[in-house]
Amino acid sequence: MTIRTKHHFSLFKLFCTGTALAAVLGLIVIFSGMVLYPSFNDLIDCLLSEEIRFAITLSMVTALISTFLCAVIAIPAAYSMTRFDFFGKEAANILLNLPLSLPPLVAGIALLIFFSPVLSPFGSFLASIGINIVYTSAAIVIAQFFVNTPYMIRSLRSSFAMVNPRYEHTARTLGCSEWNTFVQVTLPMAKSGLIAGIVITWSKAMGEFGAVLMFAGAIAMKTETLPMALFINMTTGDIEKSVAAAIILLVISAVVLVVVEHFGKDKGVEYV
């Protein structure tokens, strides 16, 4: 709850509020411009086209798998970084934050070189046993996973930090093992933050562009996720299809925002 005080007329207040409203208006105008650009029938046609349906399915599936993998790594890692002291924790902290400021393109090219059958020993080993990752849907999953895991660790850390460790201490004295305490007390108490973190990670995976472009390529009907569909159709001049892909990404963002808002609020429960 914010307390709003009644002000007398103030030019300063008018200026600041005016700027805020102008920014919101700008967002609305620009996005409605995009949404309204294609005719309704064209838009429906595009949304139902084989290419866009392929892109939706591919994005959904790769994002689900990569988010699941992110969570598998991020939940224990984030918990450990919140609760335990270990050798190299400071360094790990800095390294894990690096990808947050790093352009995903850089992560993409690093992955490309690491998995390349010609450029790296690991890649050639994989090739020798018949596994090729580069420019496949597996590369999409790996790219999304690689870029999003540090982000998810960071987000889950703050969720775990919200749970006072004394809840866990109490559970232990009541006969609960470390594992059971985590499952029965910590996870349920961090649930809201975990769900919010997972949903955001999923939507970030859906929209991942740079790393996927470098590592999985922009191959129509093969590694064509929604952002790739937007990009490919733009380069071929098929603006309606680009817009269709963009609108889906926009809707997903909006839904995620609502979900995060809902779970982020903790419904008035004080856990600390």
Partner 1 sequence: MSEKGNADRGVSENCLTIENFSITLGDFKAENLNLKVNAGEYCIIIGPTGAGKTILLETIAGIHRLKTGRIYLHGRDITDMPPELRGIGIVYQDYMLFPHMTIGDNIAFGLKQRGVSREERVRKTAEIANKLGIGHLLGRYPQTLSGGEKQRAAIARAVILRPKVLLLDEPLSALDNTTRESLRRELKKLHNEMHTTIIHITHHFEDIYSLADRVVVMREGSIIQCGSVDEVVRKPDSRFIADFTGMENVFSGICTPAGNEAAEIDIDGLKIYAVSERIGDVNVGIRPEELIISKEKLTSSARNSVRGEVIKITDNGIFSKIAVAEEISGTVFTAALTKQSIESMNIGIGDTVYLTFKATAVHVF
Q: Which residues bind partner 1 (CB under 8 A)?
A: 164, 166-167, 169-178, 180, 185, 188-189, 191, 268-271
CB of 25 to partner 1, least distance (A): 40
Tokens for 84?
């335990």
User: Closest approach of Cβ 169 to partner 1, in Å?
Assistant: 5
d(CA 216, CA 24) in angstroms, rounded, equals 36
Pick between residue 1 and residue 269 the one whose CB is nearest to partner 1.
269
Which residue's CB is nearer to partner 1, number 113 or number 162?
162
For residues 128 and 173, which CB has a smaller minimum distance to partner 1 in the complex? 173
Beta carbon nearer to partner 1, 10 or 177? 177
137 burial level (CB within 10 Å; 0-12, 13-18, 19+): middle
Amino acid in the structure at residue 206: M
- CA dist 174 → 167, 168, 177, 268 (Å): 11, 10, 9, 27
Q: At its nearest, how many Å lie between partner 1 and the CB of residue 180?
A: 7
Q: How many CB atoms neighbour CB 134 within 10 A?
A: 23
Minimum gap (Å) between residue 182 Cβ and partner 1: 13
In the complex, minimum distance from the CB of residue 52 to partner 1, in angstroms, rounded to a whole number: 41
Task: Choose between 169 and 262: whose C-beta lies nearer to partner 1.
Answer: 169
Which CB sits closer to partner 1, 47 or 176? 176
Nearest to 201 by CA among 57, 55, 65, 52: 65
- Rounded (to 5) percent helix, strand, coil in the chain: 80, 0, 20
Q: How far is the CB of 118 from partner 1 (least distance, A)?
A: 51
Q: Is the dihedral of CA 157, 161, 167, 168 positive or negative?
A: positive
- Contact status, residue 231 vs residue 218, Cβ threshold 8 Å: yes
Identity of the residue, 63 or 163, whose beta carbon is nearer to partner 1 in the bound complex: 163
Q: Give dist(CA 156, CA 91) in Å, integer.
A: 19
Of 207, 176, 186, 202, residue with least CA distance to 256: 202
- Smallest gap from residue 87 Cβ to partner 1 (A): 16
The two three-digit tokens of residue 215, written as one number = 């590592």
